Amino acid sequence: MTKSEQLFEEARKVIPGGVNSPVRAYGSVGMAPRFISKAEGAYITDVDGNEYIDFIGSWGPMILGSAHKEVYKNVLDACQYGLSFGAATEIEVKMAKLICELVPSIEMIRMVNSGTEAVMSAIRVARGFTGKNKIIKFEGCYHGHSDAMLVKAGSGVMTAGIPDSAGVPSGCAEDTLSAVYNDFNSVEELFHQWGNEIAAVIIEPVAANMGVVLPEKDFLNKLRKICDDNQSLLILDEVITGFRLGIDGAQGYFGIKPDITTFGKIIGGGMPVGAYGGRREIMELVSPSGGVYQAGTLSGNPVAMAAGYTQLMILKNNPDFYTSLNQTSKQLFEGMKQIIEEYHVPATLNYLGSLGCIFFTQNQVKDYTSAKTSDTKAFGKYFKYMINHGIYIAPSQFEAMFVSGAMGEKEINQTLVVMKKYFEGL
């Protein structure tokens, strides 16, 4: 028995499912999870001493690679002054100013501790601002685990095949309307039916929780317009895409201006951080300046801010970072496409920038329904081979591969070699 397997046995006795977040349990691929002991640069190591090339990167935040020296140093420095004050600090002001500078649609921003909190709060302020209750979300998009968002969600909910969660009172979900990703008609229909009751449309501008699904041309622009026409707000959930597709996120990439943006993990550089921000007149409604209550003892925590601020400053000060990251990513994803073609693998590859996903289906994947045509058993076999050959990818068909700036030719070539061997052997 490996040490990971031993730990998993122990963990299951004291932690539900043995993990503190569902996808970590490797449930959908039917094996014990690897317990991790450390990560550095492009590599992650488990408790049995196996080293892997890390394409999860803590599910997004480790865009510079793990244990980046400057981030790490500034975190240690911050620790010397105290781990938490529950009081206002200078670094919070610097962080807010930096994000407002980098993302033009954001005039004010509030720090929270996770993506879940960011979305939950953004929805509250959207409802407070518009005086309306209904929210449109898209099937297969995941926006954290707040009650109202656990309706046709992606990520772990999708993997487990749970359409909804137990414990969510129907009243909490009845104002959440579901539309189909990339199907503008489905949105129009909801507006037709509920137009003056819709507070906001929330979307992952590139969906990364049903695998990676790109928005079709003009889809996001049409959402912008229909929101404007109906005095509804557009919320872009950039928990994954923010500071990943570029310094100004998906909204910069697609040239779309949301009313509210939510961020998560990546702005914490590996520490627990989330944030929501947007137009001043909306954000001024948040307490204590306005009547929409939202608070957090550890929000804007000085150590977390030190990590996040340093990471964002590194990204800001290295204008070539994204060009180089996207080039490395292209090498990987185009290489994967070639392998799929060469070995006639019944699979489809979707990618944008440093986010990508191989779907084990021959269908084009553009929404939840097409994503679900994937052969998850075939994914499971592929996953087992990859992890047993040193490639650390998400243990689910419906998650993204994250490329980091710490990766280069060596890691990409190695990954493609392993992949090629797998498909060759089928």
Residues near ligand PMP, by CB under 6 A: 59, 114-116, 119, 142-144, 204, 209, 237, 239-240, 264-265, 274
Helices (H), 103-169: 115-130, 156-159
CB of 125 to ligand PMP, least distance (A): 16
CB of 106 to ligand PMP, least distance (A): 17
CA distances from 84 to 299, 300, 302 (A): 10, 9, 6
Q: Which is nearer to ligand PMP, 274 or 380 (CB)?
A: 274
Q: What are the residues whose beta carbons fall under 8 Å from the beta carbon of 425, sequence distance 6 or more?
A: none
CB of 416 to ligand PMP, least distance (A): 26
What SS3 class is residue 59?
helix
Q: Which is nearer to ligand PMP, 175 or 204 (CB)?
A: 204
- Pairwise CA distance, residues 258 & 278, whole Å: 8
Which residue minimizes CB distance to ligand PMP?
A: 115
Please tell me which residue in 132, 134, 137, 265 is annotated as part of the active site: 265
Indicate if 248 belongs to the active site.
Answer: no
Sheet strand arrangement including 348-352: 348-352, 355-359, 401-402
- Which structure tokens are listed for 21? 């977040």
Output the CA torsion sign for 315, 273, 403, 104: negative
Question: In this structure, how many other beta carbons lie within 10 angstroms of the beta carbon of residue 200?
Answer: 25
Q: Which is nearer to ligand PMP, 211 or 264 (CB)?
A: 264
Indicate if 132 belongs to the active site.
Answer: no
Q: Which is nearer to ligand PMP, 74 or 116 (CB)?
A: 116
CB of 172 to ligand PMP, least distance (A): 17
- Pairwise CA distance, residues 266 & 52, whole Å: 21
Q: What's the 3-state SS for 164-191?
A: ECCCCCHHHHCCEEEECCCCHHHHHHHH
Please tell me which residue in 237, 259, 309, 372 is annotated as part of the active site: 237
The phi, psi pair for 199, rounded to 5°, reads -75, -40
CB of 149 to ligand PMP, least distance (A): 8
Q: Which is nearer to ligand PMP, 273 or 306 (CB)?
A: 273
Indicate if 322 belongs to the active site.
Answer: no
The catalytic site residues sit at 142, 237, 265
